[in-house]
Structure 1
């Protein structure tokens, strides 16, 4: 029997990547959340793709953009970042996502000067940057003159549900509290909560999640099985070690391909020790 387990359908919440994506595919929720976070008005949004994936080379890392929408002349990417990789890793991830968004635009024929403004929003149910803010907005600023901004159109926003400052709109604060597991506190959150409850009764969505679960389980188990087979075939300690390593690499690559995960995310799912991660990461 497989030892790989993911969260049961009935237990999914807004902070689970799968459920977050289902909720944010409702335009009214996505548009309202963006407007409140940025304190702007958006005429309309449309989804470039409901689940946008980038993979430009066979051996490159793939990422999945949870909600990838276009409003007015700006591209917005909203990410639910459940795993706390640390501030530095999160910063690198935002940089990588930004590069993939720009590369996608250029691949479709845009010139450098035609790159549209983009805003990446990370929603994090953990504390950030050793501060107590709910929101952190980053743009490129000249170090010699802090009044000079590069104006390259790139903005990265991190929201922490563990903040304490009074620095976000009431609707955003209610959403962050909801991420923490608190009851729905206003009409906007009550609508989202009702949407989640209704979604859980949808048979087709449940079946889709079961299919996703099965693919994740198969990717995990196939890699582990291949590693064991390689080890047995070698018949020596070195062979078993090499076989296990190769099997784990297969499992990691399968998970990355099946769910468009980064290598660290796939390694976390496989519950690999830190020393194993460091050994395998350069080979992926």
Structure 2
């Protein structure tokens, strides 16, 4: 699959989504819309949030990671691959890594911040037609009892059909899905998307990323051919791709899915490669 040129990027693309969400006003209003809450203020703990607990553990890079004035943590991700089993497991891992990162040695567990992990999906989530799926830890025997552990996981789908969300949120999801901006916030985001095309610094950064990916892909092809000749098996090519994916995740701070997409690996094969990372 050919990589998009910089001018072809939309809000669905992680590179542009992350950049635009660095606009504090847009990010705050977007969070309020996604969660239907009021937020007094937000802050960015780090320019780019990476969590790597141990040398032998799987590190994560969070696309949009912010705190509000009450200490709640919000992680927002744009998702374009539809493997819901993998995405569900990822929210579990993200939650664990975020908690470990938040809790300092010697602190009590009640010091853990409230957290919201939000995946914006450009495909039909789960098996329903909903736009919004929110998960909390409830008692199976009595659904009125909330564990109240401060964790929320939410999946939003641009392909929902049920009338289950507010008009502002529907406007946001429709815009992500390719519709024209329908309100002031969407117009502001759309303006930022258009202005991004004239931002040479972002363009150079994206082109550098693309060149690095192409170099890694060429290295993978060479390693695959060499090992394939030596062993006469396809495993050599697969192992070469795995190494490239790992290098992109480590050196370019890409998610596994973004790295696989950049490598041109079909989405239906993502789960196979995930088991080898």
TM-score computed with the length of structure 1 as normaliser: 0.88
- How far apart are 1:242 and its partner, in Å? 5.1
CA distance in 1, matches of 2:133, 2:174: 17
Q: Does structure 1 residue 76 correspond to structure 2 residue 74?
A: yes
Residue equivalent to 1:127: 124
Residue equivalent to 2:216: 219
Q: Does structure 1 residue 101 correspond to structure 2 residue 98?
A: yes
Residue equivalent to 2:226: 229
CA deviation profile, 1:215-264 (whole Å, cap 9, x unmatched): 222222222222223344x3x52xx5454343223222112223434545
| RMSD across aligned positions (CA) | 2.3
Q: Does structure 1 residue 90 correspond to structure 2 residue 83?
A: no
CA distance in 2, matches of 1:275, 1:195: 34
CA distance in 1, matches of 2:227, 2:130: 50
> What is the correspondence of 1:22-61 to structure 2 with a 5 Å cutoff?
22-61=19-58
Distance 1:56 1:190, change over 3 A: same
Kindly report structure 1 stretches of 4+ aligned residues shifted beyond 6 Å.
273-277
Q: 1:248 aligns with which of 241, 247, 259?
A: 241
Distance 1:54 1:167, change over 3 A: same
Distance 1:281 1:34, change over 3 A: closer
Residue equivalent to 1:18: 15
CA distance in 2, matches of 1:38, 1:196: 23
Distance 1:149 1:6, change over 3 A: same
Contact 2:224 / 2:239 at 8 angstroms: preserved in 1? yes
- How far apart are 1:57 and its partner, in Å? 3.2
Contact 1:48 / 1:70 at 8 angstroms: preserved in 2? yes
SS in 1 for 2:30: helix
CA distance in 2, matches of 1:21, 1:102: 22
CA deviation profile, 1:29-52 (whole Å, cap 9, x unmatched): 110011122222111100112321
Distance 1:107 1:255, change over 3 A: farther
CA distance in 1, matches of 2:270, 2:32: 43
TM-score computed with the length of structure 2 as normaliser: 0.90
CA deviation profile, 1:3-47 (whole Å, cap 9, x unmatched): x74211101101111110111110111100111222221111001
Q: Where does the alignment leave 5 or more consecutive residues of structure 2 unmatched? A: none
Distance 1:283 1:59, change over 3 A: farther
SS in 1 for 2:216: helix
- How far apart are 1:132 and its partner, in Å? 1.8
Q: Which stretch shifts more, 134-143 or 216-225?
A: 216-225
The count of corresponding residues between Structure 1 and Structure 2 is: 275
CA deviation profile, 1:54-74 (whole Å, cap 9, x unmatched): 223344323221110000220
CA distance in 2, matches of 1:66, 1:275: 23
CA distance in 2, matches of 1:7, 1:81: 16
